[in-house]
Chain A
């Protein structure tokens, strides 16, 4: 297994704010404390470099407002797009 993270500064996840209802689940459930609540009330990746792409935020977002960037996906060895 390898993580195909090409650019270090890339955001690993994207918050779709028009669907986000600011419930705070993603912030609380992230095992690496990547997310924080921004000044506008919406979560943002405060420590993107700590993201391990576990998918906890994605699976627990009740509003489907978090997208893990596909290029950061954990891939099986030999599996290429």
Chain B
């Protein structure tokens, strides 16, 4: 590796740089710890690219603004933390329903409510999945390093464009504020907004295409006049209460994710082939988990790790496969067991959790002692 290409970056900065590399040219946000550096970085960088940075009056409006910008054809993003993420839920639901691509970064801090603004947490795992009302799709990516803050943000934009849906980058306060030397990838896939191939009079923004292909979203102002609503709508975008149309609409927004799990789900497996104990960890905790696995191996315990990089849709099938092979799952997380509950759904012989909600990182030692406990 050519060391000279390495730069010292903070996770939040890397996330912002990833967004720019993905072609994001519109950011709207509201100050909140520990995500603010993303906004600050983009306030400086976006104008240089003739992009737009705007600090809105709250997170509700930030989310509305990025949806509007996306409808006008610009890749857009917002970044926030727990309380702000709660405020965004209303319009995240709108983006899901109206199928508008956009990226929401949530740098998790201790909750509930104002909680611990300056302390990390993983308490928003379920909010990122079920925060908005109704049955809706969710794609949530969870980086563990500064490099991944960059690469997963690029991927978030690609998935958002490909599946016409909001994508959430779920960082935690540790990853967001961590500094690491990273080599910025020079080549990465960037998926740009597909253009309609049909003339305006044939265009239906919510047409269900064969083979699960998704109708391209025409930007406002280019001759494809259509209606966008948060109401259940038919293929042309107009509100409907027709039973068949309603079901088609609601199933299609979730099925486009469900039918493409192989493409969307991304995991990391570490020393799992012969493992008796599988540690399931994500985000910054996965760093401790990896160390814990190494320590346990030195002690002769066959431990391994599964790291969901795509947290939602949850890699249930991977877990089910592993559940048949391992004796015990150990699930360390900085909450009271939100992913642990998902692990239980995979039908494990045994699963235990290591939880921590005092605002401190889960250490390798904590995980090691749990591994020792279950292996003895």
Contact flag (A, B; Cβ within 8 A): no
